[in-house]
């Protein structure tokens, strides 16, 4: 029973990490909005990279630490094997984005009003990346390909958390691996 509570707690913390990443990226988004007209497509690319890096740092740190903790629990016999739990962490963290994406789909199909500007603000961590290929202001102008692309971008979070969790779970010493590389 305790193990399930710990997993639920980890998933809720992943949601909180999404909110934390969102707060960092909203500040970045404000700077992005200020310079996008002057910089053009370069601003989209630069700020997309910055936001992706911020999200990666926050989500990787959490998933890596959780993976290290899980492997210790498995070795101690207090946790069952949970090698791919990082995917669930990422999906939990991406859940608010996908809920907003459902509203965007409804908006693109004319069921509700234009949700696209709200989608970009609520998901400021992905707004510069979305603007690279879909810089319209109206959801009804989005093509099917653009909607698929917008829906695929948040998959970045589960991929990052899965890899980071797996590295932590496998007890990979990243400092030894990358900082103190031995010469061959």
Residue identified by tokens 């998959």 is: 155
The pLDDT of 29-54, averaged and rounded, is: 84
Per-residue pLDDT, 1: 33
Query: What is the reported pTM?
Result: 0.82
Per-residue pLDDT, 181: 62
Classify the phi-psi angles of 51: left when phi > 0, otherwise alpha if psi is within -120 to 50, otherwise beta.
alpha
Contact 113, 107 (CB under 8 A): yes
Distance CA(10)–CA(44), nearest Å, equals 33
pLDDT digits (tens, 9 = 90+) for 100-147: 999 999 999 889 988 988 898 888 888 888 888 887 778 888 888 989
Q: Where are the domains of the chain?
A: 2-173
Top pLDDT among 48 and 80 is at 48
Distance CA(106)–CA(114), nearest Å, equals 9
8-state DSSP, 140: G
């Amino acid at each position: 029973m305790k193990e399930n509570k710990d997993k639920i707690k980890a998933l809720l913390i992943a949601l909180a990490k999404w909110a934390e990443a969102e707060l960092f990226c909203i500040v970045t988004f404000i700077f992005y909005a200020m310079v996008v007209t002057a910089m053009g497509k370069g601003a989209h690319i630069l700020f997309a990279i910055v936001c992706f890096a911020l999200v990666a740092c926050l989500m990787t740190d959490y998933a890596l630490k959780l993976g290290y903790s899980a492997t210790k629990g498995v070795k101690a016999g207090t946790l069952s094997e949970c090698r791919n739990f990082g995917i669930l962490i990422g999906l939990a963290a991406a859940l608010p984005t996908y809920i907003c994406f459902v509203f965007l789909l409804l908006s693109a199909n004319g069921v509700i009003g234009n949700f696209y500007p709200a989608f970009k603000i609520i998901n400021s961590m992905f707004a510069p990346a979305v603007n690279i290929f879909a810089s319209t202001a109206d959801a009804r102008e989005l093509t099917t390909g653009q909607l698929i692309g917008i829906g695929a971008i948040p998959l970045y979070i589960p991929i990052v958390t899965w890899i980071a969790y797996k590295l932590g779970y496998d007890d990979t010493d990243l400092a030894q691996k990358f900082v103190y590389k031995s010469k061959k």
